[in-house]
A and B are shown apart, each in its own frame.
Chain A
Amino acid sequence: GENVEQHPSTLSVQEGDSAVIKCTYSDSASNYFPWYKQELGKRPQLIIDIRSNVGEKKDQRIAVTLNKTAKHFSLHITETQPEDSAVYFCAASIPGGFKTIFGAGTRLFVKA
Chain B
Amino acid sequence: NAGVMQNPRHLVRRRGQEARLRCSPMKGHSHVYWYRQLPEEGLKFMVYLQKENIIDESGMPKERFSAEFPKEGPSILRIQQVVRGDSAAYFCASSPTGGANYGYTFGSGTRLTVV
Contact = CB atoms under 8 A, between A and B. Distances in A.
B104 A46 contact: yes
Given A46-B105, A104-B41, A98 B98 contact: yes
Nearest to B46: A99
A73 interface: no
Interface stretch (A12-20, A77-85, A88-96): A88-96
Interface string B80-115: 000000000001000000111111111111000000
A109 to B, nearest CB: 15
Contacts of B65: none
B16 interface: no
B42 interface: yes
B18 interface: no
Nearest to A51: B101
A98 B48 contact: yes
Interface in A27-66: 31-32, 34, 42-46, 49, 51
B12 interface: no
B109 to A, nearest CB: 6
A49 to B, nearest CB: 5
Given A45-B106, A46-B103, A49-B103, A102 B42 contact: yes
A67 interface: no
B103 A43 contact: no
A101 interface: yes
A32 B41 contact: no
Given A44-B43, A104-B41, A99 B48 contact: yes
A26 interface: no
A52 to B, nearest CB: 10
A89 B104 contact: no
Interface of A: 6, 31-32, 34, 42-46, 49, 51, 89, 93-105
Given A99-B100, A105-B42, 6 more contacts: A6-B42, A44-B43, A49-B103, A93-B101, A98-B100, A103-B42
